[in-house]
Amino acid sequence: MDMRNRINAALKEAMREKDSERLATLRLINAAIKDREIAARGEGKEESVSDSEVLGILGKMVKQRQESAKAFEEGGRLELAEKERAEITVIEGFLPRQLTPAETEKAVSDAIAETRADSIRDMGKVMGVLKSKYTGQMDFGAVGPLVKAKLG
């Protein structure tokens, strides 16, 4: 079952169970996917959003909520921070398991070997391979410095 169908099935289930918080988060996910489709149509692409694009959207949504939760905590708004964390839990239910630091290190080494990268100029190739294989499974903001360290 593709990502869109899984999300829509979860949405229907949340409606049946009258789980308003989960339902609201699932509607946010659907809205983000539809926004991406509309933007793609504006660029002349007619096909729908792929599963890897959906994973990218979900990863971005998790990151946004983590930053918001941190900001709310720093501002003393714990109830809003908890709401953000609850949304993260729902969104992460659709993401693949995150790689451990050791698995991430091996994935980076494998990508460097696969692209035959030997300098920092090849970082884009390495990141491209990692994004094609591990979208939703690793934080690319944290992986970038690791790739840079191995190439530099």
Enumerate residues 6+ apart whose C-beta is below 8 A from 94: 3, 6, 7, 10, 29, 54, 58
- Topology, domain 3-92: Hypothetical Protein Yqey; Chain: A; domain1 (1.10.1510)
Other beta carbons within 10 angstroms of residue 41's beta carbon come to: 12
> What tens-digit pLDDT sequence spans the chain (152 residues)?
588 899 999 999 999 999 999 999 999 999 999 999 888 888 877 777 888 888 889 989 999 999 999 999 999 999 999 999 999 999 999 988 888 889 998 999 999 999 998 888 988 999 999 988 887 788 888 888 888 888 87
Written as one letter, the residue type at 5 is N
Query: 51: closest CA among 107, 93, 89, 96?
Result: 96
Q: Would you tell me which CATH number, out of the four given (1.10.10.410, 3.90.950.10, 3.20.20.70, 3.40.800.20), belongs to the domain 101-151? A: 1.10.10.410
Spell out the alpha helix ranges (H) of the chain.
3-17, 20-42, 51-74, 78-92, 101-115, 123-134, 140-151
Domain limits, the chain: 3-92, 101-151
Q: What stretch of H or E contains 57?
A: helix 51-74
Q: Which pTM was predicted?
A: 0.76
